Structure 1
Amino acid sequence: MKKQPSVLITDAARSPGDQLRSREIRYVAMMSARVGCLILGGVLISARVPLLPLWLVLCAAGMVFLPWAAVLIANDRAPKTKAERAADAAARERHQMALSDAAPIPEPVTIDAEIVDPGETDKKP
């Protein structure tokens, strides 16, 4: 097991591997809670506790809500830092400047023509 440093000396973001590992741990913990809801529901039915319908509804809600929340949380990434947001804004500005400095796009030329039936060219009025 790696020891985490007590003081950070860099503003670097966590590595993608570390971010993935923490998301995996959160996902497994939430899915374990879902399994716990299933087991608790079975135990509550066997024990015939008071307010059984309320407890079963709560367990069912946990079994339905937790997978959805687990997927959302597992797919979420860490928020961007101020430096990352500034770099993105600068890149967008550079892109806009490059587009405005590019040669202007010429106006498209429209050619109007009458469609002449080949049979009509032989006939003279």
Structure 2
Amino acid sequence: MKKQPVLITDAARSQNDQFRSRQIRYVSMMSVRAACLIAGAFLISARPPWLGLWLVLCAAGMVFLPWAAVLIANDRPARSKAERAASAAEREQQQQAAALAQQPVDEVEYLTIDGEHWTEPEREHRP
């Protein structure tokens, strides 16, 4: 069995790893679809009770599994907690910037430092 290296970074999985996992998901779902086809053929020859229900379930599997397999295989990997937090912080910063840009100029309070209010330190008088 192949040992997996210890993950010491927050970097996303490589594109090859992501592609390989999507391939595995797709092939496994298509295998279930093939199993539904084989089970349907076996059920027709065996004629068990509730044959109609079993055939409908097999047909539903054969129809909906390819659609679901394509959607799941093409889905990108879920974002990590750090990526979600960074996205939320960026979105909040953009909202604050938009709210500040919409404020009228008259309502914004500016800090004004007036030089006349400052007193100069008294100088020592030397004779």
- 1:16 maps to what in 2? 15
Range with greater deviation from structure 2 (82-91 or 50-59):
82-91
Kindly indicate whether residue 75 of structure 2 is the aligned counterpart of residue 76 of structure 1.
yes
Note the C-alpha offset of 1:81. Answer: 2.3
Aligned Cα root-mean-square deviation (Å): 2.8
Note the C-alpha offset of 1:85. Answer: 4.1
- Partner amino acid, structure 2, of 1:71: V
- 1:3 maps to what in 2? 3
The two structures have a TM-score, normalised by structure 1, of 0.65
Q: Distance in 2 between matches of 1:61 and 1:28?
A: 18
Q: Distance in 1 between matches of 2:45 and 2:88?
A: 60
- 1:34 maps to what in 2? 33
Q: Distance in 1 between matches of 2:13 and 2:29?
A: 23
How many residues matched? 101
- 1:45 maps to what in 2? 44
Consecutive unaligned residues in structure 1, runs of 5 or more: 101-125
Q: Distance in 2 between matches of 1:46 and 1:83?
A: 55
- Partner amino acid, structure 1, of 2:45: S
Note the C-alpha offset of 1:82. Answer: 3.7
Consecutive unaligned residues in structure 2, runs of 5 or more: 102-127
What's the CA shift string for 1:44-93, capped at 9, x where partnerless?
00011111001000000100110011001001111222443455567776
- 2:56 maps to what in 1? 57
Q: Distance in 2 between matches of 1:83 and 1:62?
A: 37
- 2:105 maps to what in 1? none
The two structures have a TM-score, normalised by structure 2, of 0.64
What's the CA shift string for 1:6-42, capped at 9, x where partnerless?
x422222111110110000000000010011001000
Indicate the SS of the match to 2:4: coil
- Partner amino acid, structure 1, of 2:13: R
